[in-house]
Structure 1
Amino acid sequence: MLYRAGQQIGHYRLTHIVGEGPHAQVFVAEHLPSQAPVAIKMLRARLAQEEIEKFSRSARRIANLSHPHIMRVSDYGVERNVPYLVMEVALNGSLRRRHPEGTRLSTQRILAYARQISEALHYAHSENYLHQFIKPENMLLDKQGNVLLSDFFLPLGIFTARSPENSLYMAPEQYQGVARQTSDQYALGLIIYEWFTGERPTYDPLSTRLFQYGSLLPPLRAKVPSVSTEIEQVVMTALAREPHQRFKSMQAFASALEEAFRARPSSGPLRSFPQRVAVAPASQMTTPLSPLSTPNGVAVDVPEAPAEVKAAGRVIWTARANHGAVRSLSWSYDGRRLVSGGNDMQARVWDASTGKVLLSYGGHRTGVHTVAWSPRGLLIASAGYDPQVHVWSATRGAIMHTFQAHTQPVKALAWSSDGQRLASVDGPDGMVRVWDAMSGMQHATFKPQDKDVAALTWSPDGTCVAVASEDGGVQIWHVNTPRHHGRIFSDPSFASVQALAWASGNSYMASGGEEQVIHYWNTNTGRDKLLFSGHTQKILSLSWSQDGKLLASSSADGSVRIWDVRTGACVFAYSSKHPPVHAVAWSPGGSLLACGDADGSIQVWQIQFPA
């Protein structure tokens, strides 16, 4: 039976279809009592009574699986003998959608994905449940970009072992009808092999011809010579034909992969820090980005480096922004107030000296992902997982404009330096829009080369917009020229860029992400001037001090660091008890630093240097 939007299934009303395959239809639906959005998977099967009982037992076991990297099944049922599962909505799609077939991934990204999936499988195995259908289409991404493993095996006749869509990533013994824990390990090994090579592995599971490591596939380095022998050995061990030759557990496999990653030679891509390159001029840009000028007409540059000094930090206040993570922070132009946005659907204005809430804005129906205070101080812009940008009064909370041209959740927004324009970008389509802040009219649109845009920033002189993408690219666009010329830069490590901050002077930018390293680089040539290394997980936020001498960073590892761009040294470090720290922001005066973490806590620090 085929279902359509508008039909009611139990306590849920189907709103629109988001996916369809030979085994199921997937809808976004509304939970009628709470009006909350959910995803419903309607299986293409009509069950006899004994099958209904078997389905209910298995669905109950899956619903009891509780892990940060497993898609939670919140409800299940049978409607007119058709089984269904209810889950949360994964707004960012699957890993197959993010990385289409033929895409090669960086070692850093592969390790990050493998770590999360291995943790989920290790937990499921400890609960005596096998997945059996490991494939990129069943690896979904949540709002923060974390992997959620979905579509665990259900003992129904529609899920046959040898169907083409299920056998692509199947271990030889599973193909013959005998699945075990190491079968899931084999499937993940096949996916990692594909991520390294960019080719979907093809092999005969019944073949007796073996390559090195007892595998049915050629060694990884035969396809990608740049992969270290240590990493190759781990991946090919997971791909051994005989189950007893693989790692004993998912935990052992993940640990071995981590060790192999750390054992890479210093000439490897992470430690050699390859220079980003100009991939291609967007719209054939030939005009370089001009540095900002002082009143005397002299270009601003980074000052000479003084002797290294350490900063001291003192907490001014700590506050809890109700439920959910703090996702974004922005200061008023005079440094007297601070606005925060978070997962609890509220944007709050705080007194910067006392930590008292002065105003709450509740105009969004979903979490507030990004907030920005206008340079003129009168307006605040906010956006979230609904496709709208709200501009509202910073003193009264009254809505001034609602920009509704986006069709996807808004990932980032920023004001131009004169406060007249606002740039915003949605995802996963990645459309960048520039608005007139007072009239609400759309000034320009850009379509980045990569759809999965993670960060956006304006140049200090207000002439350019830069966006960063999940494939490691940074695109810079001139917004005032007739054809909005731009330039595209790409990092050869292909590590996802999650944060951007343009330095005063227009000629340099800081960027960071999955690589766990912050690059300080020239926006005309793409060449690195400095590298800041110290975070142990991906960088999530960057912020410059007003004088351009200090750069603050926050990371998924829970730390906040301050870097001196004249020396490259870390002059201050703080670790939160509730990682990750999603947001960090310098006050305009440069003496206060605000940070917000996953627990919903905000801290404001007084940063002091020795006299």
Structure 2
Amino acid sequence: RVGTQIGNYRLLRLLGEGGFAEVYLGEHSYLGTHAAIKILHTRVAQGDIAQFQQEARLLANLIHPHIVRVLDFGVADHTPYLVMDYAPGGTLRTRHPKGARLPLPTIVEYVKQIAQALQYAHDQKLIHRDVKPENMLIGRNGEILLSDFGIALIAHSSRYQSTKDMAGTITYMAPEQIEAHPRPASDQYSLGIAVYEWLSGNHPFQGSFTEIAIKHSFTPPPSLIEQLPSLSPALEQIVFTALAKDPKARFANVQAFATALEQASLSTETEPHSSQPPSEALPPIQSAIIPPNQPPPSHSEELVPPIQLASSSIIHTSPNQPMLPTSKLQPATSSESGHEPAERGISRRTLILTAAGTATAGIIGAGVFWFTRPSQPIRLPQSTRSPQGTLFVTYREHTDEVHSVAWSPHGKRIASGSWDSTVQVWNASDGGQVFIYRGHSAQVNLVAWSPDDKRIASQSEDETVQVWNANDGSQVFIYKGHTAPASSVAWSPNGQRVASGSTNGAVQVWNANDGSQAFTYQAHTASVWSVAWSPDGKRIASGSYDHTVRVWNANDGSQAFTYKGHADHVSSVAWSPNGQRIASGSGDSTVQVWNANDGSQAFTYKGHTVWVCSVAWSPDGQRIASGSASPDKTVQVWQAV
């Protein structure tokens, strides 16, 4: 779009891109002034333009010293866009990279300004839905400006219900927002997560998309005092009040949270020390809404899942299909943000290969997968003579946590997706790097090879699914069909189509060659966290937060049946190799095995004590491996038939 005209503005350059919008620097044709032009990834029917104009007026009327001002609004070729003040000072994420601990007075000042903006918006009956450091801009005079109310614009419209369900970023998302019931207290929770991160240098909840979502809903945040012994209990309690699972248990409003934090800070003399090493500092960026689209620096950035892709599930694949691992459920340690000696342990940015036998159950983080020796043996060092568990390769080129790993179908290469915003392709035999794919502008949560070995699909926190050449990294296309973040991705067995589920409950089936959409399946009422094709490619099973697994026709989306045996969310779905049975793991701590043709239940496995986040069949269909969350933290292998 660079060089084109939208309204009175000529687009000069791309500033940033996300799942909901592209942001350009624009120059007014007559006045010569600059503004940020935000082009939404939503097409508006002619009859709906008037309503979008009405919604845009709500944003334009948000006139506050700590909110980025909307100057104009329009629709060009059925695509809505916003003209906004341009803030060249960058974001708080660029000023304070991940891992930095901020002095308490600095945190209090940030919270005071952002809370004022949020309270003003709440008083206007508007919820932001995506409060995070990336959306906190630095104004020309050093003031903090809250941006990206564009998500609120889309989500506020009653005509676009599918985008309302779960717009936002999972790392900062309140439990009720995950369940599609956002309220003003949801923004307070998100700001509380930011405060926790600024105090400790860590997010309170880490892992894959599914793992983080479950922790938001059920797991208390780790103690701040254990990480910062000098922090006062009063301050910790204030942060934890903002992070209460029940929105009614939080502060009465976001301004009350900011006031309580400021008052407590005045009564304490202890502050966390700033720990922003120069080597991790980010260069300033010029972005009004979203950080610019550029190759990521060597330090870490920031979230979602890997799967066959369900956010934390791995589906069994045959020797001719890709392995699809998942992310790890584990609290951050000092080694994640510091530089500990290698002999003290293996960090989450390190990958190891070991000798493991012909058919082995393996784990990548909290995910489980089976892999088999391909028909053409891979020449690995001593692979035919080494005892099980022999270390072959350690890959250390990532600069942040590795959350998805996939073997190529021919078994010679490995692709690893990381929170350093890259996918790195390297040789399985010696760890030699082949190339780095830098198409994403945020953490990569998931990677999957196409069955023909020629392409890779990667899903990122930048809310895109990108398909690219597995041999040289050249981009094939970016799929932007989702109106909410993608949470699961799976290639069809013949590699011609891709199915991707999202947090708004929709599953989209699209052409893997050009990204053209075939159809959207919309029967689920909550986030879809696992998508799996049947071995013959004729049906798709999708597991959801709505406690169901739905089996449907892969060609037209017609419903076959709904499996309702689980009492909690379904996080992983896997077809047996012969396509006759389906295994589903759930938050109810069970794995249920049932008939893939009519949903009649075969049996329920109850070996786990907490939610089961991943399941996979052995290649011969005789056994199942299932992985569970903390505190169980086990992978259990058991007889399937």
TM-score, length basis structure 2: 0.47
The higher-RCO structure (CA 8 Å, 6+ apart) is: 2
Q: Which structure has greater strand proportion?
A: 1
Larger Rg: 1
TM-score by length of 1: 0.50
